[in-house]
Amino acid sequence: MPDTAVVTGAARGIGRAIAVRLAREGWQVVVADLDARELETAAEEIGALAVPGDTSTEAGVRHLVDTAYDSLGHVDVFFANAGIGSLAGLEATDAQWARVLETNVLAHVRAARHLVPRWLDAGGGRLVVTASAAGLLTMLGDAPYSVSKHGAVAFAEWLSATYRHRGIVVQAICPQGVQTRMLDGAGPLRELLTLDATLTADEVAEAAWQALAGDDFYVLPHPDVGDYYAHRAADPDAWLAGMNRLQQKLDQQTQQTSTAPTQENA
């Protein structure tokens, strides 16, 4: 039975909930996050080793993986969970695109680069990527997020297709709205993300935990996502037309909000 894991983006939200779930099962966990203070609190709560730092850079990932192997001896499961959005469309700057792609895609590539050779030597290992429903569908209002999450799913698929026969299990968690600080900070997109029922971070962690018992590639905590994905594949134009109708509704709402009289201009 595997019992060691690394979780990135574990200071709060989904990553923290996954780390707590694993610790409750008696796993030894290494947690990583940019936010050193919140990470320390989370690590203390579950008796995990905290490795503060940026898990998207080559140096940050190398340090994290080396520290985890030094401390745990081996890493059975690596949860590549840290992620960010930009809340920007065409106006997103090159710097925003780069930051989101580094965090949501290249972090996974860099982790795999350090982990897969070790796992091949050891006879196996498991990478669990927190992608998003945005990686299977799209996320209106956030172009870098949508593209990066498609990239995260694509890289995970490539890894699975390439190494599955050599004992490497890859899984992609693709939730819709989850009640975390990311959702709270989604501004005008919050309404869109809460059209369907949202889940708690604990519920997503439970889905992740259950998924460890098998090797299904997709982990879909919101079951509707599977239906939307099937609809998209069966009739892409009808699906795109539906997404565009949703965008038009959003545009109308934004217009109404911006023209609604305020106390100052009423």
Ligand X SMILES: NC(=O)c1ccc[n+]([C@@H]2O[C@H](COP(=O)([O-])OP(=O)(O)OC[C@H]3O[C@@H](n4cnc5c(N)ncnc54)[C@H](O)[C@@H]3O)[C@@H](O)[C@H]2O)c1
Residue 54 sits in the site that holds ligand X (CB under 6 A): yes
Structure token pair of residue 115: 């982990």
Nearest to 174 by CA among 230, 231, 217: 217
Span near ligand X by CB under 6 A; candidates 30-38, 114-122, 220-228, 253-261: 30-38
DSSP state of 175: -
Q: Binder to ligand X among 4, 6, 7, 12 (CB under 6 A)?
A: 12
Apex CA 173: angle with CA 251 and CA 229, to 5°? 55
Binders of ligand X in range 61-120 (CB under 6 A): 81-84, 103
Residue 147 sits in the site that holds ligand X (CB under 6 A): no
In angstroms, give the least distance from the CB of 69 to ligand X: 19
Of 69, 145, 218, 229, the active-site residue reads: 145
Can you tell me the distance from the alpha carbon of 137 to that of 146, in angstroms, rounded to the nearest whole number? Answer: 8
Span near ligand X by CB under 6 A; candidates 10-18, 108-116, 221-229, 245-253: 10-18
Q: Binder to ligand X among 125, 141, 151, 175 (CB under 6 A)?
A: 175
In angstroms, give the least distance from the CB of 13 to ligand X: 2
In angstroms, give the least distance from the CB of 92 to ligand X: 16
Which is nearer to ligand X, 139 or 212 (by Cβ)?
A: 139
Span near ligand X by CB under 6 A; candidates 153-161, 172-180, 236-244, 247-255: 172-180
Structure token pair of residue 217: 């590639």
3-state secondary structure of 161: helix
Q: CA-CA distances (angstroms) from residue 57 to 79, 86, 107, 148, 265?
A: 16, 18, 7, 16, 48
Please confirm, yes or no, whether 218 is among the known catalytic residues.
Answer: no
Question: For the chain, how long is the longest CA-to-CA vector?
Answer: 70
Determine phi and psi for 172, rounding to 5 degrees.
-125, 115
Structure token pair of residue 258: 């911006």
Residue 33 sits in the site that holds ligand X (CB under 6 A): yes
3-state secondary structure of 166: helix
Show which residues are catalytic. Answer: 145
- Interface residues toward ligand X, by CB under 6 A: 8-9, 11-15, 32-35, 54-56, 81-84, 103, 130, 132, 175, 177-178, 180-183, 193
